[in-house]
Amino acid sequence: MSKEVLACDVDEVIFPLLDHFLEDFNATNGTDITTGHFKTYDFDGPLGLSVSETVEKIYDFLRADHSHIELLEGVEDATGRLSSNYELEIVTARHPDFEVSTWRYLQEKLPNRFRGIKLIGYAAIMEKPVTKAAVCLELGAVALIDDSVGHLNECVDVGVEGVLFGDYAWNQSEKLQPEITRCFNWPSVAEHFNV
């Protein structure tokens, strides 16, 4: 019998992108922008840049070596337990150009946890945008673990369960769809999936 598939985002779910990006951005630009400035996960507003300038800054950051950056707390144990019962697939909005470096980081930090990786890119700049919901359907995923309410709403609309990860300013919602469960950390994700 084959295992069910769980899809999982990378940034702010496994990898603490925003904290480290802002540390680098502030040092380079003499600014003092904090995660508190982010009410959505659109970086251009808080950074005071155009979308294209923002994308280039993020891409510059993603091109650097991140092997020194630690995973979010609890992810090693939880993904180890989840991978015993589920096939884990990465589904991220990083640009497809970063597939090799993202996969290398994940294999270094979490070896043999993930079956594969799909990078859909930032929809606003992609020639042919693809949703995480469409990728989850293609993979046969039963759920997506993500920090974006928007991505999860699209998933539950097509029958894929949503697990809203974290307690971030950008993922607050007065009312979540019944098929979306908030898990504040990795131990609660493992508990949600009974592992």
Whether 173 contacts 188, CB under 8 Å: no
* Residue spans per domain, the chain: 4-16+70-192, 17-63
Cβ pair 160, 5 in contact under 8 A: no
pLDDT at 126: 66
Residue of higher predicted confidence among 8 and 41: 8
Using one digit for the tens of pLDDT, what is the confidence trace for 39-94? Answer: 989 899 999 999 989 999 999 999 999 999 999 999 999 999 999 999 999 999 99
Neighbours of 163 (CB within 10 A): 25
Give the pLDDT score at 128. Answer: 84
59 three-state secondary structure = helix
pLDDT tens, position by position, 90-132: 999 999 999 999 999 999 999 999 999 999 987 667 678 799 9
Structure tokens at 61: 């950051």
> What pTM did the predictor assign?
0.95
Measured from the Cβ of residue 103, the count of other Cβ atoms closer than 10 Å reads 15
The mean of the pLDDT values for the chain is 94
Task: Write down the pLDDT at residue 173.
Answer: 84
DSSP-derived 3-state class of residue 55: helix
Query: Does the domain at residues 4-16+70-192 carry the CATH identifier 1.10.287.70?
Result: no
